[in-house]
Amino acid sequence: MSPTTERTWTNCFNLIGLALTLALVGLVLAGNTQLVRPFEHTGFPLSWALGIAAIFAFLAAELSDSGSPASSEQVDRSSQLAPEWEAVETCR
């Protein structure tokens, strides 16, 4: 896959995780209302299911981002000294 496609997948998984997290918080805050109470099962609440799904979405985002060779190239480029730092080193 190209780096652009990988970034797109990473952004999608991050947005899914963020949306699930916001839904989870909203469900927990509205848990005592009559509207949401029927969806909250006592054995395995819906908010837990949303939390687990959000964790998996964030893990998928990390896995899709860590496999890209572009991120390792950026680390190699940043390890080189900038021209300003070379000038400072020669002045000492």
**pLDDT per residue over 40-67, tens digit each?**
777 888 888 999 999 999 999 999 877 6
pTM over 0.85: no
Q: Where are the domains of the chain?
A: 3-91
Helix (H) or strand (E) holding 50: helix 46-66
**pLDDT per residue over 2-36, tens digit each?**
778 878 889 999 999 999 999 999 988 888 788 88
**Residue 86: count of CB within 10 angstroms of its CB:** 11
